[in-house]
Structure 1
Amino acid sequence: MTTNENETNATAAPEQPAGQPASLATQRPLRVGVVGAGPAGIYFSDILLRELAAKGEALGLGTQARIDIVEKLPVPYGLVRYGVAPDHPFVRMIVGALDKAASNPHMHLLTGVSVGEDVSVEHILQHEDVLVFATGATLDRELTIPGAQSLGVHGAADFVRWYNGFPAKQPTPDYQDPSTDWDLSAHDVAVIGGGNVALDVTRMLLRDPEALVSTDASEHVIDNFRASQLRRLHLLVRRGPAQAKFGVKELRELQKLANVRIVLDPADFELDEITTARAYQDHDKAQMLGELIHMRDVFVEATSAASAASDSVASAANAADTSSASSAGASATSAPERELILHFFSNPEEVLNDNGTVTGLKIRRMKVDADGTAQPTEHTETLPVQAIYSAIGYRPTQVEGAPYDDEHFVITNAAGRVLSDEGTPVEREYVTGWAKRGPVGLIGSTKSDAKQTVAALLEDLSQRADKGRAAVSDELLSDYLISQGLQPGNLDGWHAVEQAESAAGQSVGRAMQRIYDWQILSDLSHCEPLAGDDADAAADSE
């Protein structure tokens, strides 16, 4: 059952059983569990507390809540910490805003606890009145073309996790430890995708590694990039410039890369009037298309200038000393170290390989109708590449006990209310952020999602006789977790990690250096992983 099929449920609150009188219920704050301490979870918590303070009394819910934010990693802030390229300091400044929100005494950060593994959804709901999934989307959507399993094909999310130092308690087969070397021996690389993740991957592969010294990237990652053999990168976008989903800032950062020549096909920009008009109806898309057109114009001008310079050198060679002219020509037409070629209307069709190792990528030219529908043409091309990065989208991590919509890559919901397989609202369960709408949009969209989910939650609880005080246990979730042998980290633990990363950076003459070892992060965050008999005992108790 998909979200669209259940829009009629968006405003219909589920029928609720009678509970204790409201006058008794509101004597204690609401207890809210949130799964995920990324932007979605923090912003939801902040907005809920504000809305309760403003409207709780009128709704009969009281004005306060205790919010327990459960995070599986030893540290908070999810995508902002581990999904944003290290050369994006202005985005990482969001950490300061998240820190300010999370310092609210009504929010309680519980890091190093995995829902579905360390504690079940059912057990959380015994201690919380409601549960909100804000798990984000951190896994790659699978590339499903022939040869996609060849050695040298990478998911963008895997690469992003590696260079951002993503820690793993129990590594999965597609996880590469940040302390190991990423294979950057390919001279020719293809990146598949028309969004900002594709641009981040492209920029990181092409950037001068010395520019990363001022970031919090680890020394090992920077050294790995220094050894890169990359010379040419092909960026493949399935549709045209008017349908791409690039950010203007990301495009401008791409143009600032040192010693990188950007190549575009001017023919790709011959757009019909309807396509152009539709693009300019959307402010962000209009800005993006304008920036791409500017990049085309720069390329055309540079190409013309290079051609003129070459002609001038050739003329000089006929009238002067040949050796001197040859030297001048080499200087006038010398190519940058690396080349970025943008291929619009290009759909990957097959990964070519030799004994299982990537040797090329077959792409098919697409034709895009005015409504954005892409249709294949007869024209194909084979790019000789030795590595491929697929940035075709993320999907959420599935949480055991939460229904999942495989078609739209979300937890099944209507307006933030989690839906059962039958399409009815699941009592006391909600969802926000990318897990709610899919992995699209930025911080502004995350806040809008949170507001919608908060509105649904408050509406539902206000209609209950118990005003939402549904937890059957008086024990706080944090106390329950400790009783099960877990030692959750907290906000102070996160600040200890920040201090340790600052010290690690200063030890090598840098402002900060990322710590990626799970055990060290756990120790700093006061959340030591269970091991041996203790882990078995905790599992048996559940």
Structure 2
Amino acid sequence: MPRPLRVAIVGSGPAGIYAADALLKSEVAADPGVSIDIFERMPAPFGLIRYGVAPDHPRIKGIITALHQVLDKPQIRLFGNVNYPTDVSLDDLRAFYDGVIFATGATADRALSLPGIDLDGSYGAADFVAWYDGHPDFPRTWPLEAEKVAVLGVGNVALDIARVLAKTADELLPTEIPPNVYEGLKANKALEVHVFGRRGPAQAKFSPMELRELDHSPNIEVIVDPEDIDYDEGSIATRRGNKQADMVAKTLENWAIRDVGDRPHKLFLHFFESPAEILGEDGKVVGLRTERTALDGTGNVKGTGEFKDWDVQAVYRAVGYLSDQLPKLPWDLETGTVPDVGGRVVQESGEHLQSTYVTGWIRRGPIGLIGHTKGDANETVANLLDDYAGGRLQTPASPAPEAVDAFLAERNIRYTTWDGWYKLDAAEKAQGEPQGRERVKYVEREDMLRESGA
């Protein structure tokens, strides 16, 4: 009787779990069957859903319910707290599996070349998000001394950061934020948050719903300058061809024409302001210099030579995420991705790196919403299964599932399991229950391992 197809997936965020789901829905799953092991460097699964989504977005976190149903399937095993490549290498994985899919996502900040970028008070968005989401590998405190703050970027991450900085700690207390984050936000001195985009309202990358949510807080006054509402032919074409862009522009227009209210925290959305320099004094941020831009007819902008200095004491850069380079795999430095064709990893020679695949942001860069990742996974899995049917996969030396357990035990690697996640999940919910909260996250890795029964 033929053995099941053995596949390793590195990364337990949406990309990895969607790949597992696609495998389970394939004809191969019925005969001869599939056996999937997911390796995750964190003790808990779900990737950026757990550590990259703002705590006041339970709607987005609700996607965990769907991912949960996939990981509940008996054909899948989870090995948490196992890091690629320090705990397990590509050669190790090839010894146990017919195919390996990397779905490691993007968690670092994309570089921004700007004078003053290294000043004290200049922060990457990814680091701040990791702090308020209770990531165990980041500091427990965050400096929140600035009364006026700049956020560079006009995507959803920029909105998340601006909203968390502008809200009060008590507004965020009903969420799953851990105690150290609540205490940090209680000390937050920010009264003004300025979000800067170098192009216009039609080019903003906000999701309409996330943008409107800014205005739901009783403490945040959202302010848009009427002079920043401007469109050229390219912008008008964008609005006509993109319903979301049109909805975003309409929301911004409505905010621009209303009277400014008296809510205590002001959140300014600025357009046509291109960051030129972070200003410093004694090594600390004391301001931001921007150049006014103007539309060029195509929806793009050009500099006007008109500069303005903004009084801010902190700058957050939300200009995109970047993936970590994966050892033993080819790498595109410019895009920060693994070169591929249809999910098949491609070497410099143009040859497919046998039995090796990518999906999600490590494949196409940190663009698109979570749902876009599903189509990505389906394509990658379809090509893996095509290679399987064509006999092009490498035959593993030790395909038995118990060989992996023996390998990790021999290396003394403490790993968590799917059953362990249920234990940690219950422990976090128990922490929140006395306060009437759905859960309170554990932050320390050792605590997570203990509660998971690693």
Q: Same fold (TM over 0.5)?
A: yes
Provide the C-alpha distance between the structure 2 equivalents of 1:402 and 1:200, rounded to a whole number of angstroms.
33
Given candidates 200, 216, 226, the residue that maps to 1:240 is 200
1:22 is matched with which residue? none
The one-letter code matched in structure 1 to 2:102 is: F
Corresponding position: 1:286 with 2:261: no
2:224·2:252 contact (CA, 8 Å) conserved in 1? Answer: no
The one-letter code matched in structure 1 to 2:109 is: D
CA RMSD of aligned residues (A): 1.7
Q: Aligned-pair distance for 1:343?
A: 1.2
Provide the C-alpha distance between the structure 2 equivalents of 1:49 and 1:422, rounded to a whole number of angstroms.
33
TM-score by length of 2: 0.95
1:124 is matched with which residue? 93
Q: Deviations over 1:59-94 (max 9, x none)?
A: xxx441110100000000011111011101111111
Q: Aligned-pair distance for 1:470?
A: 1.3
1:30·1:468 contact (CA, 8 Å) conserved in 2? Answer: no
Provide the C-alpha distance between the structure 2 equivalents of 1:52 and 1:357, rounded to a whole number of angstroms.
60
1:356 is matched with which residue? 283
Q: Deviations over 1:18-70 (max 9, x none)?
A: xxxxxxxx7000100000011110111011110235xx78xxxx441110100
Corresponding position: 1:35 with 2:4: no
Report which structure shows greater RCO (CA 8 Å, sep ≥6): 1
Provide the C-alpha distance between the structure 1 equivalents of 2:176 and 2:234, rounded to a whole number of angstroms.
45
Give the ranges of 4+ consecutive aligned residues of structure 1 lying more than 4 Å apart after TM superposition. Answer: none
Q: Aligned-pair distance for 1:475?
A: 4.2
Instruction: Go from structure 1 to structure 2 and tell me whether the alpha carbon gap of 1:409 and 1:474 turns closer, same or farther (over 3 Å shift).
Output: closer
Q: Deviations over 1:275-295 (max 9, x none)?
A: 212222022222222222232
The one-letter code matched in structure 1 to 2:379 is: Q
Provide the C-alpha distance between the structure 2 equivalents of 1:152 and 1:188, rounded to a whole number of angstroms.
11
Corresponding position: 1:203 with 2:163: yes
Provide the C-alpha distance between the structure 1 equivalents of 2:285 and 2:196, rounded to a whole number of angstroms.
17
Q: Aligned-pair distance for 1:404?
A: 1.9
Provide the C-alpha distance between the structure 2 equivalents of 1:478 and 1:268, rounded to a whole number of angstroms.
59
Given candidates 255, 258, 261, the residue that maps to 2:221 is 261
2:123 is matched with which residue? 154
Provide the C-alpha distance between the structure 1 equivalents of 2:152 and 2:360, rounded to a whole number of angstroms.
25
Helix, strand or coil at the partner of 2:120: coil
Helix, strand or coil at the partner of 2:181: helix
Given candidates 396, 417, 421, the residue that maps to 2:348 is 421
Corresponding position: 1:78 with 2:86: no
2:238·2:245 contact (CA, 8 Å) conserved in 1? Answer: no
1:320 is matched with which residue? none
Q: Percent identity?
A: 38
1:206·1:257 contact (CA, 8 Å) conserved in 2? Answer: no
Provide the C-alpha distance between the structure 1 equivalents of 2:82 and 2:297, rounded to a whole number of angstroms.
48
2:267 is matched with which residue? 340
Q: Deviations over 1:107-134 (max 9, x none)?
A: 1100010011111111111111110000
Helix, strand or coil at the partner of 1:366: strand
Q: Deviations over 1:139-186 (max 9, x none)?
A: 111222111000001111100100110012xxxxxx4x23x3x11110
TM-score by length of 1: 0.80
Provide the C-alpha distance between the structure 1 equivalents of 2:387 and 2:81, rounded to a whole number of angstroms.
31
Provide the C-alpha distance between the structure 2 equivalents of 1:209 and 1:454, rounded to a whole number of angstroms.
43
Helix, strand or coil at the partner of 2:188: coil
Q: Aligned-pair distance for 1:267?
A: 2.2
The one-letter code matched in structure 1 to 2:79 is: L
Q: Aligned-pair distance for 1:261?
A: 2.1
The one-letter code matched in structure 1 to 2:45 is: P
Q: Aligned-pair distance for 1:387?
A: 0.4
Instruction: Mark the runs of 5 or more structure 1 residues left unpaired by the alignment.
Output: 1-25, 169-174, 304-333, 528-542
